[in-house]
Structure 1
Amino acid sequence: MNEAGGESELDWVLVLAPFRKDADYIAAFLREQDIAVNHSLIGDDLANHLSLSPGVIVITHEALSASIIAAIGEHLAAQPDWSEVPILVLLERAAPLDRIREHLHRSWPGARLLFHTRPIARLELVNSIQTNLLVRLRQKQVRDAIEREVELRLELNHRIKNILASVTSIFQMTRRGASTVDELAEDFTSRLHALSNVHTAVFEAGGEEASLSSVIAVTVAPYNSDGLSRIKAHGPDVFVSRTTATTIALCLHELTTNAIKYGALSQKDGSVDVAWSISEHDPPTLSLGWVESGGPEVTEPTRQGYGTKYVRSALGALFGSKPEIVFERQGLRCHVVGPLERLK
């Protein structure tokens, strides 16, 4: 088997001819047109040639033996649904075309067969082969598009399931913490709105990573309207995974909700400082902190509410270590640290 041709999007051609003169001649002028070609004198291992998946098969009249026809038939039968390998058959002028055509269609049902009579002009044969190589390229492009669509559907299905699981969890925990139907409706709606904002920010980031600073900015933006900066957020622009960005944003929403009801944001002059930093350790860590000030004097609650439970659980699972949540008199503090690689 001889090989020729450089890197190309187009497939290669397998030439099957029992006589070296025919095989060498066809292969030579195809290579002159920069068409990659392998040629077999039939005595070679045909099954091995076919296993390399030629894009187009050129077969001469003399090569149409029962064993060759059977081997090609097995190869065609094993093709995936998207694949239709073009086969160019070069016949002698006196050959019984109708009988050969009928026999090959029976042996290779559904095959893309093209018949040419010899002698054939080199330009005509080259044009026919190049056209069918383009057909083969289009087939592969369709295959790639279908595979990508399947991947996108599976990814969409997975993400929808995750969102529904989040919504279910939020509802169940909100229900347990609510004392009235109106309180349940208000808190649940607020949390769904926060979830929506987070997913919008992560989606707009594109790809599998999101800018942590951008996601946090979107999360705190509703509380910094009318020229007031009730929540100040600052830290390096680091990219984290979608899951990390979503979880941190939802935890910040819960801390914000608690601050509005009972903490610093319940007072006109109260504020919150959200800061994150990356250590120079090896491996580096990400540290995230929430500090309230200017609010009413804080006392530790007698029971743990939904927000605190969620923050402890979610940040603990995400960072790999439990967050420190302290109800100091001057304001609630929350701090968590974990390996940066874990959050990417």
Structure 2
Amino acid sequence: MARSSFVAAALSAGLIDDAPCGFLSAGPNGKIIYANLTLARWLGYETGLPADGFTFLDVFAKSSGLYFDAQILPMIQLQGFAREISCHLAGQDGKPGRPVLMNVKFRPSAGTIPERMDFVFFDATERLRFETTLQEARSEAEELAAIVKNATVGIVRVDHEGRLKRWNAAAEAIFRRKGAAPEGKSITEVVALDNTANTWFQDAKEEITRKGEHQFEAQIDAEIHLNISVGEIVNRVDPFAASDYSIILRDVTRQVLDRTRLDLMVQELNHRVKNTLAVVSGLIRQSLRRPEVREERQKLIERLQSVAASHDILTSNYWQNAEMSELIKPLQAQLDDPGRITFDGPKVMLNPNHFKSLSMAFHELMTNALKYGAFSDDHGRVSIRWSQDGPENTRLSLTWTETGGPATKPPDRSGFGSIMIEKLLTAEFKGETKMDFLPEGLKFSFRGQM
């Protein structure tokens, strides 16, 4: 494309061509008089714009060209210029074009210099990216502000000294105060927590320094129960500035009252069940008074006591899953030296039926160990080991191994305890059991599906 003589005379071609912005001059018919190399390269032409059939509208992306023709060109014709118009240059190979800010000046003919429009394009890629990021941040901030404003939990912001900055409507309702937070007042003055030291905010800050978070429960006016979370708000603009803190207040009054009622109900239920078991034990003692059934009577009563013990553990967990190791404590309690029973295995949570079945099995094994096995003398020991495997660890393996006690030998017939162990565990775990009467002691093995 031929360079216009007036441009060559006015400025160095090298300076204009390599400028960090695009220059374009076009005549009233749209024909391009001059375009610098910067603009040409932005449009994908390394050596300059095509010489023929290329007008200034070809510089724009299609939508920007339509906008320029319909809106900007009339403005230029009316007032002689246009400033800071956001548009896009034409792209190459279907790719989006470069975003630019455009200034246009209409210059009437003067002497030998024809009428023309001079364009200056500034690359707006970084500006557009920044504006997009800013808009996203603004939208996110507005969304978060709406969430905080309409949240059903109380949200309070304080400075590093605990001085109030703002709170939401839910916090207003909890504190029974109307209007904005009394800015600058200490949160510990405004929020008086029952049975909690008035240094609770400073204590929370120390906990956050150690653990990264702090949560506790407190009361207001002896009737509103709150779950309170305190978190640090780091100043991202100035990381050396003191942090603000957020205080989240959840009204858990209903949950606390429900939990109290549930505790009373569970305690009452446990009391009734234990009374029922005590009545059954009394009936057994009265009904089986003959000397020849004394031993069987005692076994039956001990089994009922084992059921009561497992019931106590499950009741303390609200009849939710209970941990395997809880089964070992009642066994150790029967020995002068609890260390004679050792156990090892991963944390396994048992549902109530599995827990009760294993509890009964352990009771039978313990009874046998006390009478005939490892605990029938002062030297025997029992090792209990368990593990999990299979898909999602749903297979449970367990061994009860006695050592150091008197030598054992297989019984002439299976007793009621052995039969009960097998039937209980087989039914509940759909598994299999095995009793090995080894010279060094009894070894019981079990494998089942949880």
TM-score range, shorter chain: 0.3 to 0.5
Given the two structures, how large is their TM-score scaled by the length of structure 2?
A: 0.37
Structure with bigger gyration radius? 2
Greater strand fraction, Structure 1 or Structure 2: 2
Bigger relative CO (Cα 8 Å, ≥ 6 apart): 1
Greater helix fraction, Structure 1 or Structure 2: 1
Given the two structures, how large is their TM-score scaled by the length of structure 1?
A: 0.47
